[in-house]
Structure 1
Amino acid sequence: MKISILSISAAFSRVPVLAVSESSFWPPSDELSDDSSCVDVGLDGELAPYRQSLTLPNTYQNSYSDTIFHPLFTSSSLNGDVTDDSLTKAVIFIHGLAGDANTYFCDGLDISPSDVLVISPWFSDAQVSADDWGGANSSDTSSWTSTYWTSSNWVKGGDASPDPSRYTTSFDVIDVIIQQLADLKKSGKYKNLERVTVNGFSAGAQLASRWSIFSPYANNDSELSLDFTVRTIVADGSSYVYLDSTRPDDSCVTLEDTGTTHTCASFSVPSSASSCSSYNGWKYGLDFTELSANVYLEPYASDSDLLDSQVSTYVSNPEVYFLFGDKDICNCNYEGYSNPQISSTCYPTGTSCTPNSFGGTLNNVSCCDTYPDTGSSNALAVGCEEMVQGSNRLQRGINYVEHLNNVGGNVTYGFFEGGHDNAAFYASDLFNDWAFN
């Protein structure tokens, strides 16, 4: 069952009206400037009643004195001021590199059944005040400061920056959301909550997949006594974290679309390792020699036994799922890659994607490797670190799950019909089954 406009309006009533500033504040960043998805489902792009300020604990004993919060959108309050016995599941929708958390939230509302709590954290490029953002659970918010990231460091669990330095990380943000939900269930506010699903698409997939390796919440650590299951769904990431120093053999990384029947049975240290020394550094592997700006991972960098134990726990975790677009196969910026000469796949009408160093054109349309997520930017990473994992997103994804199975896992994965398309991901039968059933 999909949420209709009427049921979205009903969900509106679950959230107390928050104190927010006048609309001149909105949007606080260009990342939230496109409200078309929200308008399409009958919501104003500002989403004022859905904006919440989630306070973050001082986990690392930072000396910073202000209250730190993370901005997010949520269909029902996480502050403990709402009781809803109808909620049985929560789904956390993590946006891509564009930072459009509002789009992911509205898309999430549109597809989610009425018993699902929808949450979309904003890994922002701009710092906002709690008074402007709204949802503060204190009458005095003048000293509240939001998290934000001046780079894409958030996709690898990195520290929020630049101030307060080393206070929290993007991994911690997801952990805190889940702990808040656990506290709400224990308090009786959401007493029927059975599962929390963290899903990420594209850059969001990079964050979700890396978080799922190291978070005790993702791995359903029994010591947390969560009283619900945590699941992770990863879709169409540009790169992944390999758990040893091997990568797919050259036969698994051919410069063409190898389709959904692609397999990879052989892994070895890549022949380019000497010229691509960073191929196994974090965020691509578990070599933490050059680790920086990630306080969450420092314990693993200094304790190999702890790291080995964590990897073993992750490999045996049955609650990590992977889903790949069967046409996410284009690569416009690696010399020698053979893009399918199909207009609807890598050369879609109406697009003008850059940079396009090697993809050429078809019928006067430039190669586009991130369509329909964008019709203007080619975003597939083609550094040596990524290319040793595969030549396109679909191939990289299959190679990675083969790697996980090769090191002892038993990974659940599947495909949806489409290219780099978060809407097709959400509309797929597998996503709906894994997230909502």
Structure 2
Amino acid sequence: MKKWLLVLLFTCANLCTNTWAAEHGVKELSPGRLLLKSGEMAVGLGPAPAKIERVLIIVHGRLRNAQTYLQSGEHAVELAGQNATTLVIAPQFLNETDVALHPVADTVLRWQGNEWMAGGESTAPFRLSSYEALDEIIARLGNRQQFPDVKQIVVAGHSGGAQVVQRYALLGHDQPALEAAGVRVRYVIANPSSYAYLDERRPVAFNHAGCPGFNRWKYGLTDLPAYAEGQTAAQLQEKYLKRDTVYLLGQQDIDPNHPALDKSCEAKAQGPYRLARGRFYFNYLKRLKPQGLHQQLIEVPGVGHDGDGMFTSPEGQKALFP
């Protein structure tokens, strides 16, 4: 087993996915610990194949139920017949409520509330953007001494996790060492409630005076987090449109009253429900780059707001394992 994996001690466990977990903390912590520059990251880790050619980083949503997403990722890998070459990692962005509820070392990173979703900085043990944490994980996987065979890294998320992946794909720092090593990075964004737009245009008419935050981060590029310092809107757009990104949309994710749907005015300006918002956003991107967009939209028939159903569908398999 690779040296990096030896620091990760883990067991399989299901995490609570109900509303109680969102409000009062997760039922159980992910048992793995990955040492980053500013602290330890809680992670779930799948079995490590002898030859790791692809790594699937699967990001949880607001419930922070990383083990549930780990199992979903492992299920997708198994269905695709990729067990022999694919490692699944599920980082867990703990918050202060989780840490107050469970005994956890002072060295473990934690964030305030849901600030990790938009690239906010950890509250302890040091300041670290959630996006910097993803940067470090991805950079480590490109280390040829520890992972000599990795050819592709897939960063995927569903619902709240898809919101994280979309924003991270937009703001994420370039990693020239990965490019030099020939490691490709793909982002799979499944059924998010909203997207970060690159200018002030929106597909649905709305009252600007009654929705002054429509273009503020995380819905637009105003008031970006500290992680994005030094990057202009033009630079972000150019970089984002070049990234290998797949928008995976369930054709039955069409409930405008879904309990987990973002119903703020900022989100409603993007469309009435998730399927419409995803279609609108992809068409918007095609208008920004009419000469050819290096991104895909794949729709999943018969599936609604169901992460496991999305990733284990034939369309989801195509997105995760190109």
1:151 to 106, 113, 123: 113
Partner SS, residue 241 of structure 1: coil
2:35 to 45, 48, 55: 55
1:247 to 2:202 alignment: yes
One-letter amino acid matched to 2:241: V
Deviation at 1:128, TM superposition (A): 5.2
Structure-1 separation of matches of 2:310 and 2:170: 22
1:397 to 2:281 alignment: no
1:421 to 2:318 alignment: no
Deviation at 1:190, TM superposition (A): 2.6
Contact kept? 2:8, 2:33, Cα under 8 Å: no
Contact kept? 1:53, 1:71, Cα under 8 Å: yes
One-letter amino acid matched to 1:195: Q
Deviation at 1:429, TM superposition (A): 1.2
2:27 to 33, 36, 42: 33
Contact kept? 2:108, 2:125, Cα under 8 Å: no
1:374 corresponds to which residue?
Answer: none
Partner SS, residue 266 of structure 2: helix
> Gaps (5+ residues) in structure 2?
none
TM-score, normalising length: structure 1 = 0.62
Structure-2 separation of matches of 1:95 and 1:17: 22
Deviation at 1:223, TM superposition (A): 7.8
1:91-170 → structure 2 map (5 Å cutoff): 91-112=56-77, 113-114=82-83, 115-126=85-96, 144-161=106-123, 163-164=124-125, 167-170=127-130
2:168 corresponds to which residue?
Answer: 211
1:300-339: CA deviation from partner (whole Å, max 9, x where unpaired): 3xxxxx431221121122x11100111111122xxxxxxx
Structure-1 separation of matches of 2:132 and 2:7: 27
> Gaps (5+ residues) in structure 1?
1-10, 35-45, 59-67, 78-83, 134-141, 251-269, 301-305, 333-368, 370-377
2:134 to 164, 167, 174: 174
1:69 to 40, 44, 66: 40
C-alpha distance 297-327 of structure 1, shift in aligned 2 (>3 A): same
1:314 corresponds to which residue?
Answer: 240
C-alpha distance 19-153 of structure 1, shift in aligned 2 (>3 A): closer
1:209-234: CA deviation from partner (whole Å, max 9, x where unpaired): 000012134xx646863431000000
Structure-2 separation of matches of 1:104 and 1:321: 18
Partner SS, residue 70 of structure 1: strand
Structure-2 separation of matches of 1:387 and 1:95: 23
Structure-2 separation of matches of 1:20 and 1:389: 40
Contact kept? 2:159, 2:193, Cα under 8 Å: yes
2:213 to 271, 278, 282: 278
1:237 to 2:202 alignment: no
1:358 corresponds to which residue?
Answer: none
C-alpha distance 168-18 of structure 1, shift in aligned 2 (>3 A): closer
C-alpha distance 422-211 of structure 1, shift in aligned 2 (>3 A): same
1:150-170: CA deviation from partner (whole Å, max 9, x where unpaired): 311221111123x346x1111
Structure-2 separation of matches of 1:427 and 1:109: 10
One-letter amino acid matched to 1:296: Y
Structure-2 separation of matches of 1:271 and 1:169: 32
Structure-2 separation of matches of 1:215 and 1:33: 30
Deviation at 1:15, TM superposition (A): 6.2
1:226-261: CA deviation from partner (whole Å, max 9, x where unpaired): 43100000011111011111111x4xxxxxxxxxxx
Contact kept? 2:206, 2:269, Cα under 8 Å: no
Contact kept? 1:91, 1:119, Cα under 8 Å: yes
TM-score, normalising length: structure 2 = 0.83
Structure-1 separation of matches of 2:177 and 2:283: 28
One-letter amino acid matched to 1:321: V
Partner SS, residue 42 of structure 2: strand
C-alpha distance 18-153 of structure 1, shift in aligned 2 (>3 A): closer
